[in-house]
Amino acid sequence: MSEPIIQIQNLVKEYGQTRAVDQLDLEIKKGEIFGLLGPNGAGKTTIILTLIGLTEPTAGSVSVKGFNATTEPLKVKRVTGYLPDEVGFSGNRTGFESLIYTARLNSITKEKAAESAHKLLKKVGLEDAIHNKTKTYSKGMIQRLGLADVLIKEPEIMVLDEPTIGIDPKGINEFLEMIRNLSKEKGITVLLCSHLLHQVQKICDRVGILVDGQIRALGNIDELADDLFGDRDTTITAEVSPIPDSLVYNLKKVKQIREVQTNGNTITIKTNGTKEAAPLISQRIVQSGGQLYRLSYKEYGLDEIYQHYFEGGTIDV
């Protein structure tokens, strides 16, 4: 793709003794949807706040579209729309009025603001609630109004902090789909922060996994999984009754099998990860006269990626 629109170089942010962001380097390309994923307290919000110039970094620099976020925050904020986590609106204003207010702060004229507010509210599916006070809105509606609020300044970059929190599962998919469509339609670069890997990975072109202020992995989800689990053992569990004596011996002879354990009627077999192991195992079991009731293959997916990085745990195989 084209030039990086966001460049973070050697970013460090310290709060007292704790280091929230630790020498972070990151580039986000124009037009892509980048997911910054990490557990709570990993430094996601800190990175965002530095990005739009609301916090000064301890060291390092952030540039957005060529502007330094620390010294030229106004120019950065002009092209960047930020949807904070737990976004809110003055309850006594209508959704329409709230959008107009934001537009006017961006020096958009009243007429133009009204026109695009109507358009955007329709786009995010709030046309029925356009003139209702925002205190009557549900959490999902507030998030959608927040999205419209980000879009009314016609940003080139959208920064969304935990955008799916508090929305129901169906709403989440709609909301994320909306973000994806808008991004692709208008070529808006999206930086999306979340600790909900499952939800967010669906729409991200690339993700970065952030733990303790450092990027631990970068790429799309498939690449990450390959990196992690490519040469690892996989585990196959078989339920056989009865277990013939020769079976364990026979299984151990198979080249791909590393370890065999029996426990009652269950046999746990560790293989070196190649997929041919499963048919070979079933073959051996039948040959040795055992009855095969169940054969399960444990694959590594999002849960394991999540656990591996976010919880800092190792994968028990």
CA distance 20 to 80: 23
Q: Exposure of 92 by Cβ count < 10 A (0-12 exposed, 13-18 middle, 19+ buried)?
A: exposed
- Total residues binding another protein (CB under 8 A): 33
- Considering only residues 29, 78, 180, 216, which one is a binding residue for another protein as defined by CB under 8 A? 78
What is the identity of the amino acid at 316?
D
Least distance CB 191 / another protein (angstroms): 13
* Site for another protein contains 236 (CB under 8 A): no
| Candidate ranges 84-92, 244-252, 262-270, 307-315; the one touching another protein (CB under 8 A) | 84-92
* Site for another protein contains 162 (CB under 8 A): no
* Site for another protein contains 160 (CB under 8 A): no
| Candidate ranges 57-65, 97-105, 176-184, 300-308; the one touching another protein (CB under 8 A) | 97-105
The smaller minimum CB distance to another protein, of residues 103 and 267, is found at 103
- Considering only residues 40, 92, 263, 314, which one is a binding residue for another protein as defined by CB under 8 A? 92
CA distance 225 to 4: 25
Cβ–Cβ < 8 Å for 151, 95: no
* Site for another protein contains 86 (CB under 8 A): yes
Least distance CB 277 / another protein (angstroms): 50
- The answer for residues whose C-beta is within 8 angstroms of residue 313's C-beta and 6 or more apart is 307
Q: Which two tokens stand for residue 292?
A: 């095969």
* Nearest CA-CA partner of 115 in 123, 183, 182, 137: 123
Least distance CB 78 / another protein (angstroms): 4
Least distance CB 146 / another protein (angstroms): 8
To the nearest 10 degrees (0 to 180), the angle between helices 221-229 and 302-310 is: 70
* Site for another protein contains 140 (CB under 8 A): no
CA distance 161 to 183: 16
* Site for another protein contains 115 (CB under 8 A): no
Is residue 298 helix, strand or coil?
strand
Measure Cα distances from 158 to 6, 27, 120, 190 in Å: 11, 15, 15, 5
Least distance CB 162 / another protein (angstroms): 12
* Site for another protein contains 59 (CB under 8 A): no
* Site for another protein contains 87 (CB under 8 A): yes
Q: Give the footprint of another protein on this chain (CB under 8 A).
A: 45-46, 49, 52, 54-55, 74-75, 77-78, 80-84, 86-92, 101-102, 104-109, 146, 149, 153
